[in-house]
Copies of this chain bind each other. A is one copy, B any other.
């Protein structure tokens, strides 16, 4: 306790060892009409079907990471090849028994991104990465550590935020139509939505910028839009489907 400017600690003696500290990503995208999450696995060397998939994770690199977001961005860059414009803290999970190596705490970020299908999105460096569809009843996949629980929380948060924010739009490409956007919401929320109410909701406020160009299609062309900003999400005045 003779260290410089140590903040007051409430109770107990100074601890001896420190927890393993990491940042995990719950990165979501939409491909082939499915909500998908990015999972990784060690390199093919010795990787068998028994090896569990895991959320992308990096231990904090003290010499390299300026802060938690920086670590999250580094992790995303390594595996996605780009830094996502919108990252949101989901929460943190820490306990004595969630990692067999010892007391471990992880800071989890929710990352909605646009990504093409690309069944198994190549291996980036040392790991194999793939977009796994989110199936019913918490994926069913057996993931490493407590990642199944974290993923369940991430899916719940994503769906909940879809009820009152523009978060789903961040999983679409730069230019999209309102029917595209509605379809994306329907995929995430797993229920059909009313066209008229949906359009009013999305077009009110400062969310979208119309491009005054049209997507040529099989039938009547649809107006193209772009997000005014990809850096943040917009909150709508009311939540959808206010349950009785």
Contacts and interface: CB of A to CB of B under 8 A. Distances in A.
Contact of A100 (B5, B17, B91): B5
A18 B15 contact: no
A114 interface: no
Nearest to A24: B7
Contacts of A7: 54, 57, 99, 144-145, 147
A125 interface: yes
Given A11-B78, A12-B61, A237-B243, A68 B94 contact: yes
A149 to B, nearest CB: 12
A139 to B, nearest CB: 17
Contact of A11 (B20, B58, B105): B58
9 contacts: A7-B57, A7-B99, A8-B126, A8-B127, A12-B58, A12-B61, A18-B62, A68-B94, A68-B95
A16 interface: yes
A18 B21 contact: yes
Contacts of A56: 10
Contacts of A4: 100-101
Given A8-B41, A8-B57, A62-B16, A92 B75 contact: no
A66 B92 contact: no
A192 interface: no
Enumerate the 8 nearest inter-chain pairs by beta-carbon distance, A residue then B residue, closest first: A67-B95, A11-B78, A237-B242, A68-B94, A18-B18, A8-B42, A62-B103, A7-B144
A61 B12 CA distance: 8
Nearest to A144: B7
Total copies of the chain: 2
A57 B42 CA distance: 37
B94 A91 contact: no
A161 interface: no
Given A7-B147, A89-B92, 10 more contacts: A4-B100, A8-B57, A17-B62, A18-B18, A18-B19, A21-B21, A60-B105, A67-B95, A68-B94, A237-B243
Contact of A105 (B14, B21, B100, B237): B21
A62 B15 contact: yes
A86 interface: no
A239 to B, nearest CB: 7
A96 B6 contact: no
